[in-house]
Chains A and B, each alone.
Chain A
Amino acid sequence: MPSRDPIAEPWGTRTPYGPGDPWPARVDLHLAEGVEPDQVDRWVRSASLLHSNGDAMDIAVKDGRIVGVRGRAEDRVNRGRLDPKDLYGWQAGHSPDRLTRPLVRRGGELVETDWDTAMDLVVERSRGLLDERGPSALGFYTSGQLFLEEYHTLAALCHGAIGTNHLDGNTRLCTATAAAALKESFGCDGQPGSYADIDHADVIALYGHNMAETQAVLWTRVLDRLAGPNPPRLLCVDPRPTPVAREAALHLAPRPGTNVALMNAILHELIRTDRVDHAYVEAHTVGYGELVRLTADYPPERAAEICDLPAQGIREAAALLGGAERLLSTVLQGFYQSNQATAAAVQVNNVHLLRGMLGRPGAGVLQMNGQPTAENTRECGADGDMTGFRNWNNDRHVADLAAAWNLDPARIPHYAPPTHAMQIMRYAEKGSIRFLWVSATNPAVSLPELRRIREVLAHRDLFLVVQDVFMTETAELADVVLPAATWGEKTGTFTNSDRTVHLSEKAVEPPGQARPDLDIFLDYARRMGFRDRDGRPFPQWHDPASAFEAWKRAGAGRPCDYSGLTYDLLRDAGGIQWPCDADRPEGTERLYADGRFWASPEECESYGRDLVTGAPLEEAEYRAANPGGLAMIKAAEYVAPHEEPSGEYPFTLITGRTLYHFHTRTKTARAPELQRAAPEVWVEVSASDAREAGIAEGDPVEVRSARGAVVARARVSGIRPGVLFVPFHYGYWDTGAPDAGGAGGRAANELSATDWDPVSKQPLYKTAAARLRALGPGDGRPSPAPTTTASAPVGAEVARTRGEPDTRETYPGGGTR
């Protein structure tokens, strides 16, 4: 058992280190009660599937069951540490309410059946629609939690075999802006920086990135630097008093939706004070002149007014960034899910291009991911991209992909960008998509404006297939439910935010008739009878290892080159960063070290988009603007959010995560320690707003927007006045009221607006207007929000969040312990 309480101290003990030193190891371990390490039968290689950090671990197996996890001390990502979600989340796999048999809807009810019956039904409907309406009637919505092999197979099925353009992942909700921002600045997706930049940086800027809760182990690395000699100074941009804000040398809490104005003012100051590496800008970039011209209109005073910040704070931020010798910037949902998402994230890239701070130790950008395998959906083309970071608008790229798959290029749709998730839902709403296959995600809780989404998914003209581990709110609406194996029950690879690839091996058998997602997709392909150009069954692969080899061929020669990797190498060496090929057999720590980008018109993944309107540019326009394939400095004017606070809805509502849960809690709520740490939804409100509304800690309140309402207990916190925060994890599967929407729901997305960034198409969860109503005094209990995180209380005595002995408590779906 760990010597600390990982719930009360999620970042654990300090192992201080100085700049340039290696990060010391610290091994975190959690085993089921009564199991000692020497009683474990086998330790099986894996990595974390409950966040995007990619922490390497070994799964402990005893008597054919998973009994715990241990961090891998030698792995470059975590040096042995584990996030609390990893220490406890594995217990969900044992939950007695796992899906173990396929289900089909008969007479309005989902009833158990066998695989042949369920798959034949899926195939029959697919065939019928293909014959009647063509491939555009079929849509696929996948995940950020499957494995690389599964995404590549799905992309090959959808884009190659079926020929539909309608394939996207829930990565659209988390990582689409990261990909879009990298394409806009560098011509191609691919994380420039490395986690190891934390070891070297003298300034770390975190933009809308509550790293302490989204990547707890990476934050541990920052805390260890802060505790050591010559620590870095932090800049935090976030409207909430996050653990990051508490450690920051400078914390700016702008009005939500105004990030572009803030970034333009910071760039204005960097230019005004000439903190510009002119030699770098001259040699490696285009677009500097336009940035100078546009940001001239954004002196700190103007941004201060738009963002409601002190102008002096903006000047200090620019001075901090301008004085850095080794600047690391990280960006996440506070930018990606907010107004002008891509435009704001691109301005962070611009800071680095201006300062020539890319590709050397400590000088890098991390456009972060939110989900464990989000990177793989992007590489494999299962998220609205083309496989291998290819450009759908470049016929040579499409031909190249068709050759890798041994298909006719004409079968691969490339007449328009692959359809994004929100547009897939719109086509389903309009009835032109009649078949939707959802794998490993829960749109009935995670998409915006849930009342609408429930209607779309429940519509009788839509044939809904849901492939999952548990009976989610989405599965409840399905026509066919396919039980899937999960982490520890199947083999495959996945890649974290800093391009580190890990192998995750099968440790135990899946329960009942549950099957690996890869097997399900391949079974579908065989039943559909897909063939390649030589008449062989397509896809030509049949198991994880052959799927990985096929992916290596499809990605070879592109930035995400895995050709030097094998399962054996990953098993022996642990995490390795792509690109990894014959020239770079040990992988590549940082991209763009030589100032060379994948941005030539021939190589680039995208010809780019207008940062304000989202309009795609054509090849000729790209060639004219960037013939030499340099990095692109793209400027953008500030445009106000589409929904601003008003008399009726005076607050800005933002949604987000907590440290202790992942997504819609399908797994984390079934791990008792995690569920207890954050058992119920809450709403964060500032002390001044609470006072004005007559609300005290723990009082029940209603939050209402133009779309719906949520009832929760108030947490009076240090959040920016005028802003409300509701965590998005809570749905209805454990309330017994699956359709509680209208008059007091539990899911934050009852409230969110249907609006997305026109460039990345990422939904904007952080720009809605709402009102707050007290529902009378509470019973004296505080709100269930954790005290250890950004939701920490102010001005009230609240018992600290901590782990408790697991005795005699009942958990949803989990029985008693």
Chain B
Amino acid sequence: MRIGVALRELHRSESALSAEFLRVAGRHPQEHEVRHVAGDLAAWSRDHVLTIAGIAPRYGVEPDGPGSPEPSGEGRELPGEESDADLLLLADLRRLYRMSAGVALDWDLLGQGARVVGDSGLIEVTRRCAPRSVRRMRWARGMLRALSPQILAG
């Protein structure tokens, strides 16, 4: 059974996403909506990480605590982002969108696995966490769509 693999990967990716949301919130203190909502969404990831840590031992997985996320290792997102604060903002939101999408997909996969093995506890966890992952994607998409016209026209 490979559900443990999926749990381990989600634990890693949610930890990384939490760290990334906090990093973006800290990097744009004057972009107030980004700062505040990214902080709220980081809390969702922390909650998901704790949830996974609670259920993973059933599948033989003992993930590390939430304090040790691997670096996202995503590298540069957009050319020019190093020297241009506006492009950096778009790049950060774009990265959050992609990372959230990956996490959303993994929750979807875990949900499929939970159904096939009939683990009602795990099904409940995926029902709670998967929609939030999609909502984080939508948030990043919405912020990108709202902020990009002014930045691209400027």
Interface of B is mostly: helix
Q: Which of B33, B139, B146 contacts A756 (CB 8 A)?
A: B33
Q: Which residues 1-58 of B sit at the A interface, judged by CB distance below 8 A?
A: 30-33, 36-37, 39-41, 43
The answer to whether A754 touches B32, judged by C-beta atoms less than 8 angstroms apart, is yes
Query: Whole-angstrom distance between the alpha carbons of A755 and B37 in the complex?
Result: 10
B67 within 8 A of A: no
Task: Give the residues from 732 to 767 in chain A that come closer than 8 angstroms, CB to CB, to chain B.
Answer: 754-756, 758
Determine the chain A residues whose CB is within 8 A of the CB of B154 once the complex forms: 133, 136, 432
Is A417 an interface residue, CB under 8 A from the partner? Answer: yes
Rounded to whole Å, the gap between the CB of A635 and the closest CB of chain B is 12
Residues of A within 8 A of B36 (CB): 642, 755, 758
Check: B76 CB closer than 8 A to any chain A CB: no
**Complex contacts, B98 vs chain A, CB 8 Å:** none
Inter-subunit contact A136/B153 (CB<8 Å): yes
Q: Is the CB of A612 within 8 A of B32?
A: no
Asked if A165 is at the interface of the complex by the 8 Å CB criterion, the answer is yes
Among B33, B39, B86, contact of A614 (Cβ-Cβ < 8 Å): B33
Q: Which residue, B39, B40, B141, has most C-beta atoms of chain A within 10 A? A: B40
The residue that A426 contacts in the complex, of B30, B37, B145, with Cβ under 8 A, is B30
Interface status of B95 (Cβ within 8 A of chain A)? no
Number of chain B residues close to chain A: CB under 8 A:
26
Contacts of A639 in B (CB 8 A): 40, 43
CB within 8 Å of B: which A376-433 residues: 415-417, 419, 422-423, 426-427, 429-430, 432
Q: Determine the distance from Cα of A432 to Cα of B39 in the docked complex, in whole angstroms.
A: 26
Contacts of B130-154 to chain A: CB distance below 8 A: 135-136, 138-139, 141-143, 145-146, 148-151, 153-154
A795 to B80 Cα, complex, angstroms: 64
Is there contact, CB below 8 Å, between B135 and A416? no
A754 to B36, CA, bound (A): 10
The docked-state distance in angstroms from the alpha carbon of A613 to that of B138 is 9
> Is A134's CB within 8 Å of the partner chain B?
yes
Is A615 in contact with B138, judged by CB distance below 8 angstroms? yes
The residue from B32, B43, B146, B150 contacting A422, defined by CB atoms under 8 A apart: B32
Distance from B44 Cβ to chain A, minimum over Cβ atoms (Å)? 9
B residues less than 8 Å from A136 (CB atoms): 149-150, 153-154
Q: Is the CB of A617 within 8 A of B138?
A: yes
> Is residue A610 contacting chain B, with contact meaning CB distance below 8 A?
yes
* B33 contacts A427, C-beta separation under 8 Å: no
**Cβ 8 A contact of A613, one of B135, B146, B148, B149:** B135
Q: Which of B33, B136, B149 has the most CB of A within 10 A?
A: B33
A416 and B145 contact, Cβ closer than 8 Å, known pairs A432-B154, A613-B139: yes
A612 and B40 contact, Cβ closer than 8 Å, known pairs A136-B154, A416-B145, A432-B150: yes
A650 contacts the other chain (Cβ, under 8 Å)?
no
Most buried by A among B86, B141, B142, B143: B142
Judge whether A616 is part of the interface by a CB distance below 8 angstroms.
yes
CA distance A520 to B150 in the complex (A): 28
Interface membership of chain A positions 578-618, coded 1 if the CB is closer than 8 angstroms to chain B and 0 otherwise: 00000000000000000000000000000001101111110
How many whole Å from B101's CB to the nearest CB in chain A? Answer: 14
User: Is A613 touching B136 in the complex (CB atoms < 8 A)?
Assistant: yes
Using Cβ atoms and an 8 Å threshold, which residues of chain A touch B138? 610, 613, 615-617
Residues of B close to A612: CB separation below 8 A: 40, 135
| Inter-chain contact B149/A614, CB cutoff 8 Å | no
Q: Are B33 and A758 in contact (CB under 8 A)?
A: yes
Q: Give A133 to B150 CA distance when docked, in angstroms.
A: 11
Q: Which of A419, A432, A615 sits near B139, CB closer than 8 Å?
A: A615
Asked if B149 and A415 sit within 8 Å, CB to CB, the answer is yes
Chain A hits for B148, CB < 8 A: 416
A615 proximity list for chain B (CB < 8 A): 135, 138-139, 141-143
Contact of B149 with A165 in the complex, beta carbons under 8 Å: yes
Min C-beta distance of A338 to chain B, whole Å: 14
CA distance A667 to B151 in the complex (A): 39
Which residues in B have their C-beta under 8 angstroms from that of A165?
Answer: 149
Report the bound CA distance from A69 to B86 in whole Å: 54
B37 touches A613 (CB 8 A): yes
A617 to B134, CA, bound (A): 12
CA distance in complex: A614, B142 (Å)? 8
Closest chain-B Cβ to A301's Cβ sits at a distance in Å of 21
Closest to A422 in B: B32
By a CB distance below 8 angstroms, the chain B residues around A427 are 150
**Structural contact, A416 and B146, CB atoms closer than 8 A:** yes
Interface mask (B105-149 → A, CB under 8 Å = 1, otherwise 0): 000000000000000000000000000000110110111011011
Residues of A within 8 A of B41 (CB): 613
Q: In this complex, what residue of A is CB-closest to B148?
A: A416
Which residues in chain A, 255-301, are within 8 Å of chain B measured between CB atoms?
Answer: none
A755 contacts B32, CB within 8 Å?
A: yes
A610-B135, A610-B138 known; A756-B149 Cβ under 8 A? no
Bound state CA distance, A422 and B141, in angstroms? 20
602-640 of chain A: CB within 8 A of chain B? 609-610, 612-617, 639
CA of A429 to CA of B41, assembled, Å: 26
CA distance in complex: A756, B37 (Å) = 10
Q: Is the CB of B139 within 8 A of A426?
A: no
Highest count of chain B CB atoms <10 Å: which of A617, A639, A756: A639
User: Of all chain A residues, which has the CB nearest B40?
Assistant: A639
A616 touches B142 (CB 8 A): yes
Across-interface contacts of B40 in A (CB, < 8 A): 612-613, 639, 642
A534 to B151: give the CA distance in the assembly, Å.
Answer: 33
- What is the chain A residue whose CB lies nearest that of B143? A615
List chain A residues, Cβ under 8 A from B153.
Answer: 133-134, 136
Determine the chain B residues whose CB is within 8 A of the CB of A754 once the complex forms: 32
Complex: how many Å from CA A780 to CA B10?
65
Complex Cα–Cα for A429 and B136 (A): 28
Q: Give the complex CA separation of A430 and B150 in angstroms.
A: 11
Inter-chain contacts of A642 with B (CB < 8 A): 36, 39-40
Complex CA distance for A93 and B146, rounded to whole angstroms: 41
Q: Which of B30, B86, B151 contacts A429 (CB 8 A)?
A: B30
Q: Give Cα distance in the complex from A754 to B32, angstroms.
A: 7
Bound Cα distance from A426 to B85, whole angstroms: 14
Q: Which residues of B contact A417 (CB under 8 A)?
A: 146
Residue of A nearest to B138 (CB): A615
Please, how many angstroms separate the alpha-carbon atoms of A755 and B143 in the complex?
Answer: 16
Interface string of A638-666 (1 = CB under 8 A from B): 01001000000000000000000000000
* Cα of A110 to Cα of B143 in the assembled complex, Å: 39
Contacts of B142 in A (CB 8 A): 609, 613-616
Report whether A756 and B32 are in contact in the complex, using a CB–CB cutoff of 8 Å: yes
Closest to B154 in A: A432
Contacts of B43 in A (CB 8 A): 639
- Name the B residues within 8 Å of A422 (CB-CB): 32
Q: Which residues of A contact B30 (CB under 8 A)?
A: 426, 429
A610 with B139: CB separation less than 8 A: yes
The CA-CA distance from A567 to B31 in the complex, in Å, is: 46
Across the interface, which residues of A come within 8 angstroms of B146, CB to CB? 416-417, 423, 616
**A610, B133: Cα distance in complex, Å:** 13
CB distance from B94 to the nearest CB of A (A): 15
Q: Which residue of the partner chain, among B31, B39, B136, B149, contacts A416 with CB atoms under 8 Å?
A: B149
Distance between Cα atoms of A31 and B154 in the complex (Å): 55
A417-B31 Cα distance, complex, nearest whole Å? 17
CA distance A165 to B153 in the complex (A): 12
Least Cβ distance of A607 to chain B in Å? 11
Chain A residues near B149 (CB-CB < 8 A): 136, 165, 415-416
A113→B113 CA distance, assembly (Å) = 76
The 5 A-B residue pairs whose C-beta atoms are closest, nearest first, are A615-B142, A615-B138, A613-B139, A615-B139, A432-B154
Instruction: Give me 5 A-to-B residue pairs in the complex whose CB atoms sit less than 8 angstroms apart, sorted by A's number.
Output: A609-B142, A615-B141, A642-B36, A755-B36, A756-B33
Chain A interface (Cβ within 8 Å of chain B)?
133-134, 136, 165, 415-417, 419, 422-423, 426-427, 429-430, 432, 609-610, 612-617, 639, 642, 754-756, 758
Beyond A610-B138, A617-B138, A642-B39, 12 additional pairs, beta carbon < 8 A: A133-B153, A136-B150, A165-B149, A415-B145, A416-B148, A419-B150, A426-B31, A427-B150, A615-B143, A639-B43, A756-B32, A756-B33
